[in-house]
Amino acid sequence: YDAQPDPSFPERAYIAPSDVPNAVYDSVGMYGMKFSHKYRLPEGLTGDLVLIQWHYISANSCKPPGYDEYDFPQYWDVIHDTSQCGIIPEDGNGVPEQFWNCAEVSIALSDESPNPTPPPVNETPRPTPSPASTTPNPTPSPVNTTPSPTPSMPPNQAIMKCGRSWIDAASKCGTLCPTGNATECPMGELCYREMQLSVQRASSAMLMFLTIA
């Protein structure tokens, strides 16, 4: 709206009154008068998140320093009948009315361009290894095992039986008394030991039971 930068306060931007000719209003977002200002950022200022703060000071209660010295456009309805502001409170408590707003923006160098996205790498999938051919071990054929015959009693190994006499013990399948103790025998019987003796000049063997006291 033809307002020029203030050489005494270059950080300021003056807001045109609502009755300024050819005012432009926002018809898309929040309804209100639109303003456009251009600033030069500090040299080398870059960042992904840069906080910009907008500090608005009104002039309807008092006039801030430098207000009367600024060269306003002729068709602006400026304020003349208010007094000068004293110390402007930093916390906004008191006069003049103050408003703050903030925005986080990304700032890059003017000659920087975003890094192009690298093309995807065409990776050839590795072939799936074929399963190893495993031949099961043949089942061994069963071994025909012939049970070993019960070893015969070694020579001279005695058999002890109970009986009323050695003839009685040898002639029947009496009760065994392996310890040689007659207490293992029924009442009235003794424990007899069988012995195998080889007799010369004879082709047969004789069995003899000895009484063990």
Mean of the per-residue pLDDT values of the chain: 75
Q: Closest Cα partner for 109 from 50, 22, 184? A: 50
Q: What is the pLDDT of residues 50-79, one digit of tens each?
A: 999 989 999 888 999 999 999 999 888 887
Say if residues 24 and 33 touch (Cβ distance below 8 Å).
yes
Distance of alpha carbon 83 from alpha carbon 79, whole angstroms: 10
Which of 90-99, 114-123, 193-202 has the weakest average pLDDT? 193-202
Compute the distance between CA of residue 199 and CA of residue 204 in angstroms, rounded to an integer.
8
Residues in the chain, total: 213
- The 10s digit of each residue's pLDDT in 147-170 is 544 444 444 456 788 888 877 777
pTM of the model: 0.46
Q: Which residue, 170, 152, 164, 155, is CA-closest to 193?
A: 170
- Indicate whether 199 pLDDT > 70: no
